[in-house]
Amino acid sequence: MALDTYNDNPLPKVAMRAELLDAETELKLAYAWRDERDVAALHRLINAYMRLAISMAARFKRYGAPMNDLIQEAGLGLMKAADKFDPDRGVRFSTYAVWWIKASIQDYVMRNWSMVRTGSTSSQKSLFFNMRRVQAQLEREAAASGERLDRHQLHQKISTEIGVPLRDVQMMEGRLSGSDFSLNAVQSADEDGREWIDALEDDSAQAAELVEDSHDTRCLRNWLVTAMQALNDRERYIVQERKLRDQARTLESLGTELGLSKERVRQLEAAAFQKMRKSLEGQSREVHNFLL
């Protein structure tokens, strides 16, 4: 359950008093969980390294996320590490757990840093957490050597330093340069200033489009009714069942109902369409141009 404040969270104090595991005990606990699904061994392993998770969570406070949430995410990463840890590989659990804890915290920070998704690829994640530091370092080095870097040169050097595509650097620069703003914020300090949402283009159909669509639909309906009148009752029924139903009838089902072969129904359908085409083409030049 989410906690409200870091100071109210007893977990850090409890974690600091947890036992320190030696390599042999840690290995026994890891085997007990992996091979026997011993929950007590899992709890003991996680509790012993919760201080590591809390310590890593504290490194990400500068990104503005609540400390309690960071601790919870770090704990989730620690539990994932415990579940996937293979003691046969010969590494300490703490070494393995660091990666999972860091990944869990970073994913949380990136998900909550902005309403707009900041990035999902490994290069975007690397940029998000390292771009400002690398940029400051490059600017210090340039200033020390008397070199002046424009924005494009700086982006190229960041791309090379971090090992990511230049386009990702340019994208992340835009994402990090500004914070989220509400579309309901007014554009000026005036009381009558309009909100930013009022400047968005309306994607819905405009009045002229609605009138045109209504006119076209009415014309098409009239043309269709006139064309259908050129058919006899059987042809009209076949067209209705084949083309004007939500679920079209098959030639075979119509043939069974009308006492005709499937091929004969197809021939009658083709003949009906030919009659309708001639009827439509004969109504006016407007209809003919519309069909073309």
The pLDDT confidence band at residue 285, using thresholds 50, 70 and 90, is low
Query: d(Cα 228, Cα 250) in Å, to the nearest integer?
Result: 20
User: In sequence order, what are the residues at sequence separation of 6 or more whose Cβ sits closer than 8 angstroms to the Cβ of residue 81?
Assistant: 93, 96, 97, 99, 100, 101
Q: How far apart are CA 90 and CA 38, in angstroms?
A: 21
Tell me which amino acid residue 77 is: G
Helix, strand, or coil (residue 146) = coil
pTM: 0.50
pLDDT in tens, 57-90: 998 888 878 889 999 999 999 999 999 999 999 8
Cα separation values, 266 from 90, 236, 238, 258, Å:
74, 13, 9, 12
**pLDDT category, 212, cuts 50, 70, 90?**
confident
Q: What is residue 243's DSSP assignment?
A: H
- Look at residue 36 and tell me whether its pLDDT is greater than 90: yes
Q: Would you place residue 289 in the very low, low, confident or very high pLDDT band (cuts 50, 70, 90)?
A: low
Output the CA–CA distances (angstroms, integers) from residue 221 to 120, 218, 265, 278, in the order listed: 50, 5, 25, 17
Q: How confident is the model at residue 148 (pLDDT cuts 50, 70, 90)?
A: confident
- Secondary structure in 3-state letters for 61-98: HHHCCCHHHHHHHHHHHHHHHHHHCCHHHCCCHHHHHH
